[in-house]
């Protein structure tokens, strides 16, 4: 095979099928869960949630098989991604997908939920150990490489209790919640330092700003499960901090709306889904109409985001703008 074929044809497309494609699956999994939970407000969403679930599962299989094919035929590209200061943080997306789907299946099939949860926990533990070890021992990372995308390896740990408590693994859930929460606080400090005192985040990574409000939103849900559904002071701190960060990021929408399309746009989806879920839970706990109205606004925003992402990604695929050299 010629060099031109490798770098201009289908083999090149496969080589550039990056780990970040799993962000699409995670976004759809989060959307599915949000729609499912919103069924308490809108009954008609139940059927939409089922269709979205099957679409997400099919997408997960397609992306996984494609990436596995790439791993077999182009193993050097996997090594390159693993050693990349930004892309390495996207490998735990696979664990997060299993963990989110385990929550989706809690109300559909408890056994399927259990197996997905166990798979997600194992993958999350391995990813956390290897990636954090890489952070500690690396010699080529710089402060400019730090973005909210670095939260991805630890957010999965915070998701664990949401289904873990239901499956009877309370102490395991506390273990992962503790690890995720402490690392989130440490990384949040570094990210804020990087954004305030160093060069701005590159355009293609600006959508990761949405990840800023995902950890406290998910943390609020997980903590509520761990303490048996109580709305205490710490739960409120987590929720209201996520709300503030959500509002803060919304003020940056005019800037974000001007950037070119990148696959990183899918970073908009899962954090907003997490925020919808947190607000729905807040409404359930307080019965305050304010949170019901806020949940409806956030849900409408999420639906708009998913619609735009699906259309824009389809257009990018048709134009050959996907799977190109970075």
Q: Is 288 helix (H, G, I), strand (E, B) or coil?
A: coil
**pLDDT value for 6:** 38
CA pair distance 175, 70, nearest whole angstrom: 34
**pLDDT value for 308:** 93
Per residue in 47-94, pLDDT (tens digit) is 888 899 999 999 999 999 999 999 888 888 888 888 887 888 889 999
Inform me whether the pLDDT recorded for 5 exceeds 50: no
3-state secondary structure 139-168: CCCCHHHCCHHHHHHHHHHHHHHHHHCCCC
CA pair distance 317, 230, nearest whole angstrom: 46
Inform me whether the pLDDT recorded for 10 exceeds 80: no
Distance of CA 72 to the CA centre of its chain: 26
**pLDDT value for 325:** 65
Is residue 54 within 8 A of residue 36, CB to CB? The reply is: no
Distance of CA 280 to the CA centre of its chain: 18
End-to-end CA distance of the chain: 22
More confident residue, 199 or 249: 249
Is residue 150 within 8 A of residue 84, CB to CB? The reply is: no
Closest CA to 191 of 178, 201, 204, 203: 201
Inform me whether the pLDDT recorded for 278 exceeds 60: yes
Q: What is the CA radius of gyration of the chain?
A: 19
**pLDDT value for 285:** 95
With tokens 């869960």, the residue in question is 33
DSSP symbol at 169? -
More confident residue, 8 or 109: 109
More confident residue, 288 or 264: 288
pTM of the model: 0.91
Is residue 325 within 8 A of residue 77, CB to CB? The reply is: no
Inform me whether the pLDDT recorded for 2 exceeds 60: no
Binning pLDDT at 50, 70 and 90, where does residue 25 land? very high
Per residue in 157-208, pLDDT (tens digit) is 999 999 999 999 999 999 999 999 999 999 999 988 888 888 778 888 888 8
Cβ burial of 39 (10 Å; 0-12, 13-18, 19+) is middle
CA distances from 113 to 28, 60, 166, 269 (A): 17, 16, 10, 22
**pLDDT value for 151:** 86
DSSP symbol at 207? G
Determine the topology of domain 3-318 in CATH.
Glycosyltransferase (1.50.10)
The mean of the pLDDT values for the chain is 88
Residue % of the chain over a pLDDT of 70: 95
Binning pLDDT at 50, 70 and 90, where does residue 1 land? very low
Is residue 35 within 8 A of residue 14, CB to CB? The reply is: no
Inform me whether the pLDDT recorded for 7 exceeds 50: no
CA angle 194, 192, 268 (to 5 degrees): 100
Per residue in 114-148, pLDDT (tens digit) is 999 999 999 999 999 988 888 888 767 788 778 88
């Amino acid at each position: 095979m010629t060099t031109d074929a490798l770098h201009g044809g289908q083999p090149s497309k496969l080589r550039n099928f990056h780990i970040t494609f799993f962000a699409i699956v995670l976004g759809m999994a989060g959307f599915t869960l949000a729609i499912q939970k919103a069924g308490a407000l809108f009954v008609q969403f139940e059927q939409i949630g089922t269709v979205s679930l099957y679409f997400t599962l099919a997408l997960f299989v397609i992306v996984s098989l494609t990436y596995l094919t790439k791993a077999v035929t182009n193993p050097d590209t996997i090594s390159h991604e693993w050693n990349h200061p930004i892309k390495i943080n996207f490998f735990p997306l696979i664990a997060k997908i299993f963990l989110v789907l385990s929550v989706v299946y809690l109300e559909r099939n408890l056994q399927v939920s259990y197996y997905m949860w166990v798979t997600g926990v194992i993958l999350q533990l391995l990813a956390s150990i290897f990636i954090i070890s890489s952070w500690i021992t690396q010699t080529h990372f710089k402060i400019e490489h730090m973005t909210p995308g670095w939260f991805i390896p630890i957010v999965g740990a915070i998701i664990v209790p949401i289904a873990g408590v239901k499956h009877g693994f309370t102490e395991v859930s506390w273990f992962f919640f503790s690890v995720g929460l402490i690392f989130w606080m440490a990384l949040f400090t570094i990210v804020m330092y990087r954004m305030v005192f160093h060069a701005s985040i590159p355009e293609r990574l600006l959508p990761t700003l949405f990840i800023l409000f995902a950890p406290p939103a998910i943390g609020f849900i997980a903590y509520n499960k761990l303490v048996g559904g109580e709305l205490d002071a710490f739960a409120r701190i987590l929720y209201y901090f996520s709300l503030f960060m959500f509002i803060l990021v919304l003020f940056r929408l005019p800037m974000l709306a001007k950037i070119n399309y990148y696959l990183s746009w899918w970073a908009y989806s899962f954090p907003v889904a997490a925020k919808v879920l947190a607000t729905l839970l807040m409404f359930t706990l307080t019965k305050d109409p304010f949170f019901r109205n806020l949940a409806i606004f956030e849900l409408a925003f999420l639906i708009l985001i998913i619609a735009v992402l699906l259309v824009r990604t389809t257009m990018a695929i048709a134009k050959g703008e996907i799977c190109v050299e970075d």
